[in-house]
Amino acid sequence: MSPTTAAECLFCRIVAGEVPAAVVAETDRSVAFRDVSPQAPTHVLVVPRRHVANAADLAEASAEELSDVVALAGQVAVREGLAGAYRMVFNTGAGAGQTVFHAHLHVLGGRPLSWPPG
């Protein structure tokens, strides 16, 4: 169950062009845009156009749309010159740091990325 409806969802509004964002790539299923508060030199969010709360819900709704998000994230990483050294993250649930309840894949790179992340 999504904590926000599509009508009140920030990322739905970015997908619809109602809220400005620095879009770097898109497909008919997904949109990639720069995070407004970057945690690395490259920090891009890839979201499905469909409003679902998290990655697992997206997988249940449409494996093809989840695949499109991941594939677009990989293409963005190549275009951003991350050279095979980047991180993809789906935060799921407020306790894990999720603040926007529309599935989104963080693509982070351009600096050394420690593991575990802390």
Nearest distance, CB of residue 78 and ligand AMP, angstroms: 21
Catalytic residue among 43, 51, 104, 106: 104
Q: Is 106 a catalytic residue?
A: no
Nearest distance, CB of residue 83 and ligand AMP, angstroms: 23
Does residue number 91 form part of the binding site for ligand AMP (CB under 6 A)? Answer: yes
Q: What is the DSSP string of 2-30?
A: -SS-GGG-HHHHHHTTSS---EEEE-SSE
Nearest in space to 68 (alpha carbons), one of 100, 35, 52, 46:
46
Nearest distance, CB of residue 114 and ligand AMP, angstroms: 18
Residues in binding contact with ligand AMP, number by CB under 6 A: 12
Residue 84 backbone zone (phi > 0: left; psi -120 to 50: alpha; other: beta): left
